[in-house]
Amino acid sequence: MIRVQEQDFDPGSELELLRDHCAGRAGAVVSFTGLVRDLNEGDDIAQLTLEHYPGMTEKALAQIEAHAIEHWNLVAAAIIHRIGPLAPNDRIVFVAAASAHRKDAFSACEYMIDSLKTEAPFWKQEVTPGGKRWVTAVDEPISS
């Protein structure tokens, strides 16, 4: 399940949806929720705005999810990413993996959030006391 949305999400409800979908086939669900921090590179962050590439974003997330499902034999997976203006402590991203055994769910969850950070076309712009600035990527470059 892939969603790109402006509105907030409820991790508890999302985990319930995933559990319902598993219908007894999964023994483990691992999830990751990413939050907006109030500090980056020593500066206070008042607001964050997420830009993305509509169409390509969904395509990239679907590829990441499909790879995780296939590689770790997941029963179900979910990726939710927010766009638009966000404030410190807001939820920004949610990734979850359900599998028969916990090890696959942990590995798949880590893979999905790590891949999303380098492959999915999202860009963060921060509002600091010094003005707006684009966040610079520190991760490995996007692959072909």
Contact set with other proteins (CB under 8 A): 34, 50-53, 55-56, 59, 81, 92-93, 113, 116-125, 134-137, 139, 141-144
Compute the least distance from the CB of residue 23 to other proteins, in Å: 30
Residue with tokens 């999302």: 14
Compute the least distance from the CB of residue 20 to other proteins, in Å: 26
Compute the least distance from the CB of residue 75 to other proteins, in Å: 24
Compute the least distance from the CB of residue 139 to other proteins, in Å: 8
Centre a 10 Å sphere on the Cβ of residue 67 and count the other Cβ atoms it contains: 15
* Closest residue by Cα to residue 98 from 60, 69, 62, 61: 69
Closest to other proteins by CB, 73 vs 118, is 118
3-state secondary structure of 138: coil
d(CA 119, CA 126): 20
Closest to other proteins by CB, 66 vs 135, is 135
Q: For residue 44, how many C-alpha atoms fall within 13 Å in the half-sphere facing its CB?
A: 3
Closest to other proteins by CB, 90 vs 119, is 119
Closest to other proteins by CB, 107 vs 125, is 125
Strands 131-134 and 122-128 turn out to be antiparallel
